[in-house]
Amino acid sequence: MIEYVILSFILISIAIIGILATKNVIRILMGVEVMLNASALNFVAFSRIHNVLGEIFVLFILIIAAAEAAIGLSIILMLYKYYKTLDLEKVREMRW
């Protein structure tokens, strides 16, 4: 069980570093997806010990992650179509 919690912590750490260190929108979206998967891993690990239905929570997390990825990718496509870049700093500069 502790292995899954450590793996989940490592995944969350990688995702947070990935979100904070980059300015690319696709990498930020990937970091959010990794965070959702790490929380799902935590739910499954704790449901095995405490005999709760963590798998149902994981199903909801996966549904939310799929919807978030679809909406996020559509926003990214519109951002690229309008600004011709995916760098958030350049988009922020072009806005003014």
Highest mean pLDDT among 71-75, 80-84, 86-90: 71-75
- Domain boundaries 2-95, CATH class: mainly alpha
Cα–Cα distance measured from residue 28 to residue 40, given in angstroms and rounded to the nearest whole number: 19
Q: Which of 79, 31, 96 is nearest to 88 (CA)?
A: 79
Residues facing 87 on adjacent strands:
24
Does 96 score more than 70 pLDDT?
Answer: no
What region does 40 belong to: left with phi over 0, alpha with psi -120 to 50, or beta? alpha
- Decide if pLDDT at 10 tops 80: yes
pLDDT at 43 over 90: no
Whether pTM exceeds 0.75: yes
| pLDDT value of residue 94 | 67
Q: What integer pLDDT is reported at residue 51 of this predicted model?
A: 77
Q: Chain-wide mean pLDDT for the chain?
A: 87
Higher pLDDT, 49 or 31: 31
Give the residue with greater pLDDT, 57 vs 12. 12
All structural domains of the chain with their residue ranges: 2-95
